[in-house]
A = this chain, B = another copy of it.
């Protein structure tokens, strides 16, 4: 492996000149820079990561803590991990993956051995031990999601409350007064995951405020549960004309399947909105109006915030991303 010494020798300069030429921190004669660039090219030189970590104050590595909880939808999880990795590369950062048990203990380990410059926390629950940990470590860190206690934390997330409100507002505007909400797995609400309850209660409140009847049912991923949940909602709201789905892709396609079987037409008989979904709803049958959960946006912002923390100019705060509504034809106004 070529070192900076090799480059210096080939270019006929000292190593400090090479270093300055590459970092651009001091002015270098054009001719010299050219020779150095050539040597670098020829030798395929890349600075040794260890040496750079040791000397410089940066490791150019970020830890991403991504435990896979039961009830977490794997594709969504994956989408976030990938988005973080991609966003990090924009700043010349690599990503170290901490999962499972290591998702918590690994944080201390990599922080104390100065392996990483910062930490990204994914899939935080309300009372997440990792939040205290990063507070204590004092390392730049950004949480994707909003835990119960956000003091001293930098967080980014979709504005789930606003998203729920947008769903209700739109449907009420279209004349709907009986609106169901199909939620995630019961476990998700119990485990203390943060956004599902947030969405659920904002939904109920907005419904109450605008004078609509709403009801809620969680569901597991198997078809029996989905049918049961749908029936429960239908029973509670016999006049239901609109349904908001805040759940996984398989569940959403099962619901559409149930509707087809029962001859319930979308949107003529039932208006449907897919809320906070990480997947494309336009290949569903029919395509569903959706408020996307923008993993790329959240993660890009999370990385940007972490970089700002590294630069030292940002105070802990919570940033909520404004939801957007995408119309694909699965809602219509009520016609009596």
Contacts and interface: CB of A to CB of B under 8 A. Distances in A.
A186 interface: no
A59 interface: yes
A283 B86 CA distance: 34
Consensus secondary structure, chain A interface:
helix
A110 interface: yes
Chain A contact patch, size range? 35 or more
A114 B49 contact: yes
B95 A46 contact: no
Contacts of A95: 96-97
A250 interface: yes
Contacts of A47: 113
Given A50-B50, A223-B285, A285-B222, A94 B82 contact: no
Contact of A1 (B46, B110, B114): B114
Nearest to A72: B78
A314 B81 CA distance: 33
Contacts of A70: none
Given A74-B74, A100-B82, A113 B222 contact: no
A96 B96 contact: yes
Copy tally for this chain in the complex stands at 2
Given A53-B50, A74-B75, A112 B1 contact: yes
Interface string A40-53: 00001011111111
A106 to B, nearest CB: 8
A95 B102 CA distance: 12
A231 B267 CA distance: 29
A95 B250 CA distance: 30
Given A61-B96, A85-B99, A50 B44 contact: no
Contacts of A222: 283-285
Contact of A53 (B53, B86, B224, B249): B53
A52 B49 CA distance: 11
A115 interface: yes
A235 interface: no
Contact of A112 (B46, B51, B77, B113): B46
Interface string A100-121: 1010001001101111000000
A324 interface: no
Given A74-B75, A78-B74, A85 B97 contact: yes
Contacts of A89: 102, 106
A257 interface: yes
A49 to B, nearest CB: 4
Given A46-B109, A48-B54, A85-B98, 12 more contacts: A1-B114, A46-B112, A48-B113, A50-B53, A50-B59, A75-B75, A75-B78, A94-B106, A96-B97, A222-B285, A250-B253, A261-B261
